[in-house]
Amino acid sequence: MYNYLKNIQKRPKLWGAYTAEILWNDKHISKKMLEYHLNEDAEPASRNKIFIDKSADWIIDHFKIDNKSTICDFGCGPGLYTTKFAETGADVTGIDFSQRSINHAKKTAREINLKIEYLNQDYLKFSTNKRFDLITMIYCDLCALNPKQRKTLIRKFRKYLNKDGLVLLDVFSLDAFKQREEAAIYQHKLYDGFWSAKDYYGYMNSFKYEDEKVFLDRYTILEKSRSFDVYNWLQYYSLKSLKDEFKQNGFRIREHYSDIAGAPYKRNSEEIAIVASKL
């Protein structure tokens, strides 16, 4: 046990583990994640309702979304944005790793009589014959992927966009990275039972990779009969590094903002939102 506890506090290899399956499809954790998504005031999984409404209105207006538009939302969750896009009459597709979130999104669409194509799959493996006028990826999902995964995803964006199509997404900025500090937390039922329906002890060890501008929160959960880890990696960007990454993958950043609701860009913003088109 001594060696085990010592090991979980050691700095892991950068991007050395990927645990999205546990976070999004574990029976208990996915239920808690959906509860966070649907909580109109909390922001661990989705932003608060006021911001979602504001940003959705801005996106619809800025990109002139209507019944002629084709849109794909990568990481759509329970459909908080896809629902609003589809209400304009647009042809909307939503992709998400979480079966629970997709089921909720489908149920919502049925209840309000909206036709939305929802796909429960890993968007890194997404394939389609459709082409889109707009691809969205909202709430800094790109930051959770390693460089190879990001390259795969951005190239998928390029493949599935119409000739004049656009990508809209947001990321965490270097100003947000500066505010992160390494920490270690140990707690019985860490985060009030979020990680398991059984009795457990939780460890959270965070690590800052200064040179690469990456931050990791590693959660280690110990139940009586099992233990498991969840790695929450986040890449942070400057506007220049974001532009460079997109250029390397065939895109030009045409517009940039301080958030996904179109706030004017400020250098000390904690987020950067961009609109990109194919080179």
> Among 129, 178, 196, 156, which residue's Cα sits nearest to residue 74?
156
| Secondary structure of residue 201 in the 3-state scheme | strand
What's the pLDDT score for residue 46?
A: 63
What's the pLDDT score for residue 21?
A: 92
Q: Does residue 147 belong to any structural domain of this protein?
A: yes
Measured distance CA(211)–CA(199) in Å, rounded: 38
Q: Is 136 exposed, middle or buried (0-12, 13-18, 19+ CB in 10 A)?
A: buried
Q: State the DSSP string of 67-129.
A: TT-EEEEET-TTTTTHHHHHTTT-EEEEEES-HHHHHHHHHHHHHTT--EEEEES-GGG---S
Q: Does residue 73 belong to any structural domain of this protein?
A: yes
Tell me the per-residue pLDDT of 141-166, one tens digit each, with 9 for 90 and over. Answer: 999 999 999 999 999 999 999 999 99
Measured distance CA(267)–CA(265) in Å, rounded: 7
Q: Does residue 185 belong to any structural domain of this protein?
A: no
What's the pLDDT score for residue 42?
A: 63
Over the chain (279 residues), the average pLDDT of each successive run of 10 is 84 96 94 87 71 96 98 96 98 96 97 97 95 97 97 98 97 97 96 96 97 98 95 98 98 98 96 98
Q: Which residue has the tokens 């036709």?
A: 115
Counting the structural domains of the chain, the total is 1
What's the pLDDT score for residue 4?
A: 80
Tell me the per-residue pLDDT of 127-140, one tens digit each, with 9 for 90 and over. Answer: 999 999 999 999 99
What CATH number did the domain enclosing 154 receive?
A: 3.40.50.150
Q: What is the pTM of this model?
A: 0.94
> Among 110, 139, 177, 148, which residue's Cα sits nearest to residue 47?
139
What's the pLDDT score for residue 3?
A: 84
Q: Does residue 22 belong to any structural domain of this protein?
A: no
Q: Find the domain containing 119 and state its range.
A: 28-173+238-278
Q: Does residue 149 belong to any structural domain of this protein?
A: yes
Gyration radius from the chain CA atoms: 19
Q: Does residue 204 belong to any structural domain of this protein?
A: no
Q: Does residue 161 belong to any structural domain of this protein?
A: yes
Q: Does residue 162 belong to any structural domain of this protein?
A: yes
